[in-house]
Amino acid sequence: MTLILIIVKFLTIVFGSIIAGFIGSLTGLGGGTVLVPVLTLFYGIPFIFAAGASLISTIATSAGSASAYTKKKIANIKIGIGLEIATTTGAIVGSLTLVFIDKHALIWIVYVIFGLVLLFSLIPTIKKIGKEVPPEMKPDWSTKLFQLTGSYYDERLRKTIKYHGVRWWLGEIVMFFAGFVSGLLGIGSGALKVLGMDWAMNLPMKVTTTSSNFMIGITAATGSSIYWYEGYINLFIAAATAIGVLIGAFFGAKVLVRISNENIRWIFFAILSFLGFDMVFKGLHMINFVITFSLMIQFFISVIISIGLIGILFYNSRRKEWRDKDEKL
């Protein structure tokens, strides 16, 4: 009897991970960003176990999707490995910070940071930061020294696009923070990596997203080995999430190609912002700071705030489109 209950428990984690992987790949934030809040908020799993299971599952999804992209030669492996110097260093510092925070019983801080990182990474994702091909920037000294050039074949534009990156040093700085966040929170922090390559180094969006996908695995491997020795990985949970997130990301990638209606993505943004607010509330609730009301009420407040916020953002983005249409008329 208890065995059946445990099997059900296992399968519910697999199910939750499938959903997390699915939403993560549809929104481009990655499985871990959704998985950690789902595991801690809905399954009552302690944060460190959630982070451990999530980080190691992130490797599976990163490797799975990166294998497709590298074959098509869109991801730039050279630039990726160069930037990994900063992300792996950041991951070591980040995971050691988590160990410190955990040993001093300050885990509420991580909940708050997690919520804020989730909410802030929604902004560039919604705005889709740069355009497909970035505005031309003059090559600088780092372009030549670090050979930041490349080309790929764009299937939609049907031509080979040549590109070059600039400001390598700025990219490394952003990547350090991306690695730090990854090690601290147990996520891939793909949004920050995209920011580093798109905003700092002025690389095309396709190269940015595919290269960051491939880099996430290396960063997560660094953090995971520290997590392993610290005992943050519960094998029962990690086995379930690794399988689940992989399945979810696989279907997410299939569906992503077919989605023609952009509006569907807004529902997922609303879910993500709900998770973000709820994580902040949970963290503040742990130390009874401002938020002293019960779990149920936290839930409802998060729902209301996130619906309101996404409603405003949705209206804003639509209004711009309507205005453009009016001008055309």
Partner 1 sequence: MKNYDDEVIISYFLKAGVLISVSFIVAGVIILFVKNGGDGFTLSQMSNYNYALAHGIDSKSVSLNKILSGLSAIDGLYFITVGLWVLIFTPITVVFIGWVSFLDDKNYLYVGMASIVLFNLFFAMLVVPRFLV
Measured from the CB atom, is 151 or 234 closer to partner 1? 234
Backbone Cα Rg of the chain: 20
Residue 76 C-beta-side C-alpha neighbours within 13 Å = 27
- Least CB distance to partner 1 at residue 125 (A): 24
Tell me how far apart the alpha carbons of residues 32 and 62 are, in angstroms, rounded to a whole number: 11
- Least CB distance to partner 1 at residue 14 (A): 9
**Which spans of this chain sit near partner 1 (rule: CB under 8 A)?**
2-3, 6-7, 9-10, 44-46, 48-49, 52, 56, 59-60, 62-64, 66-68, 70-71, 73, 77-78, 81-82, 84-85, 88-89, 91-92, 95-96, 99, 145-147, 214, 217-218, 220-240, 242-243, 246
Measured from the CB atom, is 95 or 143 closer to partner 1? 95
- Least CB distance to partner 1 at residue 86 (A): 10
> Among all chains, which residue has been given the structure tokens 């050691």?
96
Task: At 23, list the tokens.
Answer: 């939403």
Measured from the CB atom, is 86 or 272 closer to partner 1? 86
DSSP state of 147: T
Q: Is 128 helix (H, G, I), strand (E, B) or coil?
A: coil
Measured from the CB atom, is 90 or 276 closer to partner 1? 90
- Least CB distance to partner 1 at residue 167 (A): 17
Query: In this structure, how many other beta carbons lie within 10 angstroms of the beta carbon of residue 261?
Result: 7
Q: Which of 11, 21, 17, 15 shows the shortest CA–CA distance to 255?
A: 21
Measured from the CB atom, is 111 or 274 closer to partner 1? 111
Letter for the amino acid at 60? A
